[in-house]
Structure 1
Amino acid sequence: MPDLLSFFAACPSSQGAGGLTLYRLQSAEEIYMHHLIALASWVMPTHTWTEALAIILRWIHLVAGITWIGLLYFFNLVNVPFMKQVDAGMKPKVFQYMTLPTLQWFRWSALVTVIAGFWYWAQIYVAADAERMGTSPWGTIGLFLLIWVVTWGILYFVISKTPTGYVVGAVTTVLVFLAALLFVNFTPVGQDDNHVLSIGIGGGFGIIMLLNVWGIIWRNNKAVITGTLAGTPPANAATLGRQAFLASRTNFFLSVPMVFFMAASSHYTILGR
């Protein structure tokens, strides 16, 4: 009924006998012009360059992150038990046609996730807070990178010694707790901003996970797989595999608090405001 009323309202009318109002049907040209004018009156929402960049970076970060974490869970929950059941003669084909291609998606999606997320955090939140405070954002950005890269360096040393999983878990817990504490208490910018602080922790976990992917998981698996496919597996294949497994398990468990802090940055204020 509203469409019918609006149609008649748009039609020219004339007064008929007995005081009745007579309506005539619109021509095709009139209908076309009516809709054209209505379309022209509709204004697209306008966005600043910063707002457009923010949504693009968030979209890339989310899509790449879903790919990365999805493959991380695939490796830990599906692939590890699956490979234990595969016959030795079948493993080369599995390595060549499943594991290697999946690792390619895994490592590159990890890199894209972290780059897009880091860019978003640094420009949209840290730089904005720095401008509000009248200072430089580089102190916070540099501190973030220093703390989490050093944390990974210590963790890398521990994993390289191939200890038990419990030792790696305990060391990782202590390291990330201390790293988070350092960042929250000593960041020059954003000490009152939940976005800066929460992503500063969750993103730090992401830095560790990325470096585990490129520094241990990909490198060790590539050495074992390419050697196996060439018929000359490395002599330390078992050690390389164990290190990759420990790094992957570390990423698996770190992904849970990582996602929590990322979500909390916008949906649950736990640090700052």
Structure 2
Amino acid sequence: MIVNLFSGHGLLELNDLALLRWAHIVAGIIWVGLLYFFNFVQMPAIAAATADQGGPGPAAIGKYILPRALLWFRWAALATWLTGGWYLVRTDQLLAAFTLGLSRGGDTAYGLPMGIGVWLGTILLINVWLVLWPNQKKVMGMVKTEGETDLARARKTIATVARINAVLSIPMLMFMVAAGHGVAL
């Protein structure tokens, strides 16, 4: 499928791979943007709201902002991973990425940086769905906790894993951009 914009003048031609790549990039911007929001805006804001005696407290963030942000965060993570995986399937690069280029007889110019990015993205996705989301449901009161100790542990796990994901996102982005632009390692 080719979408030719500007009535056939060839100014902008988008095929299905280009649209798939754009979907991956947009979903990734939402995912990583929200990851940075949680780490650099929301967590400090909750600390400030807790200390503010005259304000609405952290409940305002937890009740109105957090559920919507988490919805977009976890589904953008999945959309990013799925569109990236589908792009690699369509371009016959999936095996090369997951084997760091070794499946192509050692041709690692694309496979190594892309593979490192793919593996880091997979770790981030697993953290979102299997570590962060179950603990966030506890903090938001969506699932029952085993008391204050369990709740405190959930909060600590969220803070730690969110920071780990923020740190891992930097090399993930660097390696994916390097692969897409032919930067050798």
Q: TM-score if structure 2 supplies the norm length?
A: 0.81
Contact 2:139-2:155 at 8 Å conserved across structures: yes
Shift of residue 196 of structure 1? 2.4
Residue 236 of structure 1 aligns to a residue in which SS?
helix
Looking at structure 1, the residues matched to 116 and 161 of structure 2 have their Cα atoms a distance apart, in angstroms, of 19
Shift of residue 100 of structure 1? 1.1
Q: C-alpha deviations, 1:163-219, integer Å up to 9, x for none?
A: xxxxxxxxxxxxxxxxxxxx437x323631522222111111000001111111111
State which drifts further: 262-271 or 213-222: 262-271
Residue 77 of structure 1 aligns to a residue in which SS?
helix
State which drifts further: 243-252 or 82-91: 82-91
AA at the equivalent of 2:107: D
The one of 67, 77, 80 equivalent to 1:100 is: 67
Shift of residue 125 of structure 1? 4.2
Gaps of 5+ in 2: 1-6
- Report the counterpart of residue 156 of structure 2 in structure 1: 242
Q: C-alpha deviations, 1:32-65, integer Å up to 9, x for none?
A: xxxxxxxxxx8555xxxxx822101110011111
* 1:257 lines up with 2:171 in the alignment: yes
Gaps of 5+ in 1: 1-41, 46-50, 128-136, 145-182
Deviation above 3 Å: which 4+ runs of structure 1?
42-45, 232-235
Shift of residue 94 of structure 1? 1.8
* 1:67 lines up with 2:34 in the alignment: no
* 1:85 lines up with 2:52 in the alignment: no
Contact 1:224-1:234 at 8 Å conserved across structures: no
The one of 224, 233, 237 equivalent to 2:139 is: 224
* 1:270 lines up with 2:184 in the alignment: yes
Looking at structure 2, the residues matched to 251 and 216 of structure 1 have their Cα atoms a distance apart, in angstroms, of 11
| Structure 1 residues 77 and 43, CA gap change in structure 2 (3 angstroms) | closer
In our comparison, the structure showing a higher alpha carbon Rg is 1
- Report the counterpart of residue 100 of structure 2 in structure 1: 184
AA at the equivalent of 2:36: Y
Shift of residue 243 of structure 1? 1.1
Q: C-alpha deviations, 1:6-41, integer Å up to 9, x for none?
A: xxxxxxxxxxxxxxxxxxxxxxxxxxxxxxxxxxxx
CA root-mean-square deviation: 3.0
Shift of residue 235 of structure 1? 4.4
User: How does 1:85-164 map onto structure 2 within 5 Å?
Assistant: 85-87=48-50, 90-126=57-93, 137=95, 140=96, 144=98
Percentage identity across paired residues of the two chains: 35
AA at the equivalent of 1:264: A
* 1:213 lines up with 2:128 in the alignment: yes
- Report the counterpart of residue 163 of structure 1 in structure 2: none
How many residue pairs were aligned? 174
Q: TM-score if structure 1 supplies the norm length?
A: 0.56
Looking at structure 2, the residues matched to 66 and 219 of structure 1 have their Cα atoms a distance apart, in angstroms, of 23
Shift of residue 224 of structure 1? 1.4
